[in-house]
Amino acid sequence: MTTSKSSSDRILATPSAYARKNYLYVQEVGTLHSVEPHISKRQNLNSFLFIVVMNGNGTITFDGQQFPVEAGNCIWIDCSHSYSHESSADNPWTLMWVHFYGTSASSFYNTYIEQENPFLFTPPSIVPFTEALHTLYQVHEMKNPLLELISHKCLTDIILLCFTENSREHQNAATISEKLQLIRNYMEEHYMEKINLDDLADTFYISKYHLSREYKKTFGITLGNDLTAKRISHAKSLLRFTSDSIEQIAVSCGFQNAGYFIKVFRKAENMTPLEYRKKW
């Protein structure tokens, strides 16, 4: 890493074995005040980096592509990829940032990217992000006894904010989003009936290929898997709160037959419907 003149307030954290196994945990957290142009280059790190640009501007290069960065921007990147960021000479930046990791970190990030969310975005306000980062720094500085649990919450809050703020951006495509929600509501009401992609496309006047692609992008799950999950959820309710037979439940939840229902249920819950009924 090459650096120019700058000042940095940072805390290096060493998480416990329990935190590494169960939590999202902080590796480094801090604030960088650049006085002159500052360049940072890294790659192949088992880490995720989240940055808030407080003021100033510069550039970030990620996977070989360079992007301009300015005050009010947020950045979330996978540090196993090659990246670098550089403060400008005429308007050096101030950054708040955290490097973090954890067993679920990759899953969160991959889901975020699969939904075609940008790694560089501008939320309406950076305050919720900076408050979480400030708390992370503070609990580590004060050695709070619950710092690992609080850190996990703050990191989860930051991730949720990333999803939420970019979901708002996606709502600009209101027509397709509203139609997809109508389709999802329709499946919730008609899950017990035979439903397939062709019929939904015809009913809602949308290309089945476009429907399939946009549904996964919007809701983070394929249309077919979402329908199956709805059927399983209703079946679980009937198993717990009625004395209906497995055959009756299969039919009333839209499954072809009891055998297929048992197969799908076992795959989803790692137990048969009867085992679920007895357990609950």
At 37 the pLDDT is 76
- Three-state SS for 199-223 is HHHHHCCCCHHHHHHHHHHHHCCCH
* pLDDT tens profile 194-214: 999 999 998 988 888 889 988
**174-279 has the same fold as 6-170:** no
Confidence class of residue 174 from pLDDT cuts 50, 70 and 90? low
pLDDT exceeds 50 at position 55: yes
At 2 the pLDDT is 43
pTM: 0.65
Alpha carbons 10 and 31: distance in angstroms, whole number:
6
The stretch 27-44 carries a mean pLDDT of 87
Where along the chain do its domains lie?
A: 6-170, 174-279
Q: Which CATH architecture has domain 6-170?
A: Sandwich (2.60)
The CATH number for 174-279, chosen from 3.65.10.10, 1.20.210.10, 3.90.550.10, 1.10.10.60, is: 1.10.10.60
Share of the chain above pLDDT 70, in %: 94
CB 102 within 8 A of CB 20: yes
CB 61 within 8 A of CB 140: no
